[in-house]
Structure 1
């Protein structure tokens, strides 16, 4: 797929507190769903859109992310000698991507993490993918968002309708529907239900333009004392159009324990090697509980 979006930023510097103690010394982004870490699903989603340049924003205890995407000569030679060609092919498909790692030295929020990538992005539009928002691999959300960007040439944000009881967990937009996309008028970071302008929540897929960097540089800390991307986008929307794209497929909030377990079950049931045995196990387990 040819696209004007050549680069993707993958913020991976968060502390992962919702999964402690598992994430005390191991990155949340490396937690596996069946046999791949969360961050690899994000990379493969980008690759399917023709993106091959990745900027991963890391922090302390994140070195295993770099190791994961590095070439493992001894392992590959062992797989080759053992005739495990399928497994070798699975590893090798990540060998032709370009990776840059930037350390976010303090946990100053998603907006600050994206700002850290400015020297690498320069004056290009780019994607931002939050790897704990896992999209069903059969649903081409990022491809659809890029198509909208190609038409509008302005920032595109993925949206999902959520229960009003959950809006306090998200950035929420105020906008009007134009065809099949929303033209955004305003957005609020983590509002209470009585102050939420809608139930349309911003989720972890963005197509952004370089203008966002100036907004982030000027942005004061917001919710949680962090530089919030939503706050910077709220300023940007006063100067340039921003559109929201409502997802049509399945998203898993794998940054939440229950969402992570749901993703694990669904992906395992889709795995050809595991599906039959795992399905039978689940059926027997449910029967034993009733």
Structure 2
């Protein structure tokens, strides 16, 4: 069973400057809640019991959001606004935080969770990828694939050709509808991508990933890339790619963030 999840949230948010100089992308508001709130709730609904969030020293706002505000609670009680107290409640889950002193890539962030993970399988959820599905939980689908095949799983979606250079892109052998055996993976291919299937924001890993992360050098962008560790791992282990059918909104793209806000507004 997958009971632990890692949320890397220490990046600089350069795609959303200048607002991310003062407001973490993970705290962008979506229908009255920050983006990372939706990520945590997705994890809890999928059965996750412990969450490890990696932040930078400029993102204390994330820690504050998941902390209790006793002063505010007392104020609401004394001001006959107790009906608002349920809005301050969070799902019952154990959340731990660690600061990444310097953002050196997704791979570097994930490997900070090695002691937290121990010998258990774990999920990785990227907080700038919001999945919307009225009837299904995206992480649950990834976990179900892991439980069926007992191996590492990456979530993928078909992406427009011109956008493939922004993602890790897999090459794979199709096993069944929506399921592939990964035979290669390339980070941000600038030409000749191996397919149109990009890795999108949800993963299940076994602890063996850390032995590869710990020996992965700098890659694209002079960063330690999670994709490079996966590429090394598939030489000795089977990695599956599960096509995600939920609609995905990338907060780093203004047009997708606005589309998400519009969707949530119309949903009310």
Moved more, 203-212 or 131-140: 131-140
Q: Which of 180, 186, 189 does residue 188 from structure 1 map onto?
A: 186
Q: Partners of 1:264 and 1:82 in 2: how far apart?
A: 31
Q: Partners of 1:75 and 1:26 in 2: how far apart?
A: 21
- What does 1:51-66 correspond to in 2, within 5 Å? 51-66=48-63
Of structures 1 and 2, the one with the larger relative CO (CA 8 A, separation 6+) is 2
> 1:152: which partner in 2?
149
SS in 1 for 2:120: coil
Per-residue Cα deviation, 1:62-105 (whole angstroms, up to 9, x for no partner)? 101000000111222333445545532232134x3211111111
Per-residue Cα deviation, 1:183-229 (whole angstroms, up to 9, x for no partner)? 1101000002x420000000000011100001000001000000000
Q: Is the 8 A contact 1:157 1:205 kept in 2?
A: yes
CA drift of 1:26 comes to 2.3
Per-residue Cα deviation, 1:1-28 (whole angstroms, up to 9, x for no partner)? xxx1111101010001121121112211
> Structure 1-normalised TM-score?
0.88
Q: Partners of 2:84 and 2:166 in 1: how far apart?
A: 38
Q: Which of 216, 238, 243 does residue 240 from structure 2 map onto?
A: 243
CA drift of 1:230 comes to 0.5
- Which ranges in structure 2 are unaligned for 5 or more consecutive residues? none
Question: RMSD between aligned alpha carbons?
Answer: 1.3
4+ long deviations beyond 6 Å:
none
SS in 1 for 2:214: helix
Q: Partners of 1:83 and 1:164 in 2: how far apart?
A: 55
> 2:122: which partner in 1?
126
Q: Which of 47, 50, 54 does residue 50 from structure 1 map onto?
A: 47
Q: Partners of 2:32 and 2:233 in 1: how far apart?
A: 39
> 1:87: which partner in 2?
84
Q: Is the 8 A contact 1:26 1:61 kept in 2?
A: no
Which structure features the higher share of strand residues?
Answer: 2
SS in 2 for 1:218: coil
Q: Partners of 1:230 and 1:86 in 2: how far apart?
A: 46
CA drift of 1:107 comes to 1.3
- What does 1:196-235 correspond to in 2, within 5 Å? 196-235=193-232
> 2:11: which partner in 1?
14
Q: Partners of 2:93 and 2:16 in 1: how far apart?
A: 29
Moved more, 21-30 or 169-178: 21-30
> 1:98: which partner in 2?
94
Name the count of aligned residue pairs.
266
Q: Is the 8 A contact 2:129 2:248 kept in 1?
A: yes
Which entry has the higher C-alpha Rg, 1 or 2? Answer: 1
CA drift of 1:238 comes to 1.0
Q: Partners of 1:106 and 1:211 in 2: how far apart?
A: 24
- Which ranges in structure 1 are unaligned for 5 or more consecutive residues? 272-290
Q: Is the 8 A contact 1:154 1:242 kept in 2?
A: yes
